[in-house]
């Protein structure tokens, strides 16, 4: 992914590499439109604070990969909540793979482990 971003001079990005077959996320922005004020990469998500070059509005993007295992999910959601609660800006966008299902029959592959 980093090679693709480097080839595109107009774009910049933040990457959180996959761990085995899981995860792997990237946030990419057009640097002719957005200034990146800050980036935070942790094991579950990328937080990118972007400022529009024209109107100076700021958006915060959380690009998230929630793990499949309950304890890791719980840690991810707590870390995410703490980070969002600390924000003063309300222009927050959450996106990516939440790995959530409502019923066991929605699950494809692997085994279903109900939450404790």
In a domain, 67, yes or no: yes
**What is the model's pTM?**
0.76
| Total domain count, the chain | 1
pLDDT of residue 114: 56
Tokens (6 digits) for 70 = 């309950």
Q: What is the pLDDT of residues 48-99, one digit of tens each?
A: 999 999 999 999 999 998 887 888 889 999 999 999 999 887 899 998 777 7
Q: pLDDT tier at 43 (50, 70, 90 boundaries)?
A: confident
| Domain membership flag for residue 111 | no
The answer to whether residue 95 is domain-embedded is yes
Q: What is the domain extent for residue 101?
A: 33-106
Q: Is residue 1 part of a domain?
A: no
Look at residue 73 and tell me if it is in a domain. Answer: yes
- Specify if 4 maps to a domain: no
Is there a domain that residue 65 lies in?
yes
pLDDT value at residue 60: 96
């Amino acid at each position: 992914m980093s090679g693709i971003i480097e080839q595109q001079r107009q774009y910049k990005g933040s990457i959180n590499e996959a761990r085995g077959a899981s995860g792997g996320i990237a946030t990419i922005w057009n640097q002719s439109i957005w200034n990146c004020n800050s980036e935070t990469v942790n094991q579950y998500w990328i937080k990118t604070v972007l400022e529009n070059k024209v109107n100076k509005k700021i958006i915060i993007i959380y690009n998230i990969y929630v793990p499949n295992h309950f304890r890791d999910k719980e840690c991810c959601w707590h870390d995410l909540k703490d980070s969002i609660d600390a924000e003063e800006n309300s222009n927050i966008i959450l996106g990516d793979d939440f790995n959530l299902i409502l019923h066991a029959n929605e699950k494809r592959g692997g085994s279903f482990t109900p939450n404790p």
